[in-house]
Amino acid sequence: MASLLITANRMILSPTEGPTRVVSPGYVRIEDGVITAAGEGLPDGPDAPDVHLEDGLLAPGLVDLQVNGFFGYDMVDADETGWRTVVERLPETGVTSFLPTFITAPVEVQAAALRRTEELLPALEGRGTRILGVHLEGPFLSEKRKGAHNPAHLTDPTPEKIATLLETGLVTLVTLAPERDGALDAIRTLTANGVLVSVGHSDATAAQVEAAADAGARKVTHIFNAQSGMNHRDPGVAAQALADERLSPGLILDLHHVSATVARVVFNAAAGRVVLVTDAASAAGMPPGTYELGGEPITMPEQGPPLRADGTIAGSGLRLDEAVGNALALGVDPATAVDAATRVPADLVGRTDLGRIAPGAKADLVWLGPDHRARMTWIDGQELLGGGS
């Protein structure tokens, strides 16, 4: 694989030790798909850069831990064509790694979807965005906070059900409600098997969420959405997510799921812990119309997120580069905004070789233009989206 030298007038530098920061200018050297050098200023030596970025921002490739679907396809039942379309086109949005997300269904249906995904993976290897495993959002959720999930399939996380879902080894993240019977034992089992546990679709008290964190939970799914909140005498999931430094709150920053004011509160209260996610549904990247989420219809309106027939928000049409841009527009500093879509989610799933521009990391990069949309994307040092230099 050829070497590559990229220079940029503005670049995110995320060293192994020390804080992420913006440098002006900066450079990245790549050999065989790995970053071998990165730093502030221009590189030593006579070599001219292969790519020089005059404007915008060179950042690590974006990492999305919650993608139900995109470009017309729902990941849980997409065929090989659907999976290939999503994997090959997500770099258009700056995403270089993602967790396809399967929402609530009977455990045996989810297990079958996991086996089908396992069979598809070899054909998808190296075709585009990295697949980091699967995020199971349910079925161990609260009926009181079901959101767009089918209540008929909600259930308790028994040892047998957890064992069934772990059989393929593909599960990387599980969202569950810690107040369900058996949930704390399930969290311990999942954590012991290397699975990240996120509290979500939950009516839990702050104390119950604290107990979940004691058992090993380290994330909260789409903070403020489908969960108990911030009552000052009866704090719930959202309050504990902000107060507990062990927990990383996921945030759907489309400015529909959470207001701008509340988004600022999240970034201020959970500094360095926020994870930007899209929660994208199959309607993302598509025109208004009718699509599917978890086998049930959703409608993409002219404005706003997709909806169930009863008006319940059902995922989003958000791009992750757009979420970063929204954070910047709220006044979040660039290093923090980019970290929330790169280093923080990568570290949560144990991929410290992703989500950073530092020697030894995978050469997954994105050039965000002045409008904060992806103009150029590289995975393993290979350009998968080109918009000029």
Task: Give the residue numbers annotated as catalytic, written as ranges.
Answer: 279
Q: Is 271 annotated as a binding-site member?
A: no
Angle value at C-alpha 107, between 349 and 204, nearest 5 degrees: 65
CA distance 376 to 326: 19
CA distance 208 to 384: 44
Q: What is the helix (H) or strand (E) element at residue 327, kind and residue range?
A: helix 320-329
3-state secondary structure of 312: coil
Q: Is 225 annotated as a binding-site member?
A: yes
3-state secondary structure of 46: coil
Cis peptide preceding 139, ω within 30 of 0: yes
Q: Is 222 annotated as a binding-site member?
A: yes
Comparing CA positions, the residue from 48, 129, 17 lying closest to residue 27 is: 48
Q: Are 173 and 198 contacting, i.e. CB atoms less than 8 angstroms apart?
A: yes
Q: Is 257 annotated as a binding-site member?
A: yes
Q: Is 153 annotated as a binding-site member?
A: no
Tokens encoding 295:
């086998």
- What residue type is 117 in one-letter code? T
Contacts for 358 with CB less than 8 Å, ≥ 6 apart? 13, 14, 15, 16, 35, 38
Q: Is 313 annotated as a binding-site member?
A: yes
Q: Is 148 annotated as a binding-site member?
A: yes
Comparing CA positions, the residue from 103, 193, 106 lying closest to residue 148 is: 103
Binding-site residue set for substrate: 148, 225-226, 233, 257, 313-315
Binding-site residues for Zn(2+) = 137, 201, 222
- The binding site consists of 137, 148, 201, 222, 225-226, 233, 257, 313-315
